[in-house]
Amino acid sequence: MLKINESDYQNVVYMEVDGGITKEDMEKADAFLNDHYGDSDEINALVYLKKLDDVDAGAVMKGMFIDAKHWNQYGKIALVADDEVLKKSASLADILPGINVKQFNKPDIDAGWSWVKE
C-alpha cells in the first residue's frame, strides 16, 4: 500500500510504502500530484519504505507515466529504508538523472527531513 500526503514543509510530499504497490495506488498518487502541484511547481519527497513487497506491472507502467509527466518538477527525494533495501538501491541516484536523491537509514529519518526541506 502507498500513502501520499502533504508534509508540514512547502513543496515536500510524504510517501509511505507498506507492502505491495498496485496500479490503483499509483493512480491515487498521480491525482494527488496533479491536484497539489499541477505541472509546474517543484516536488520534493521523503519516501519511507516501511516494507516493500510486490509491485504489480500496472503500477510500474503508471509510475513511468507519472515520472515522464512530472520529471522536470522533481527536486530532492529522500529515501528512508532499512540497510538491506538501501544496499540494493545503492545506484538509485544513477538511474534518476537530474534528480537529487539521498538515502537514509530508518533511524536517521529526521536527517532525511532536514535534508529534503533545505
Q: How confident is the model at residue 100 (pLDDT cuts 50, 70, 90)?
A: confident
Q: How many CB atoms lie within 10 A of CB 63?
A: 17
Residues pairing with 55 in the sheet: 21
Mean pLDDT of 81-95: 72
What is the domain partition of the chain in residue ranges?
2-117
CATH class for the region spanning 2-117: alpha beta
Is 95 exposed, middle or buried, given 0-12, 13-18 or 19+ CB atoms closer than 10 A?
Answer: exposed
Please list, residue by residue across 104-115, b when 16 or more beta carbons sit within 10 angstroms of its beta carbon and e when fewer do. Answer: beeeeeeebbeb
Tell me what the mean pLDDT of segment 33-53 comes to.
92
Give the model's pLDDT for residue 95: 62
Whole-number percent of the chain with pLDDT over 70: 92
pLDDT score for 93? 57
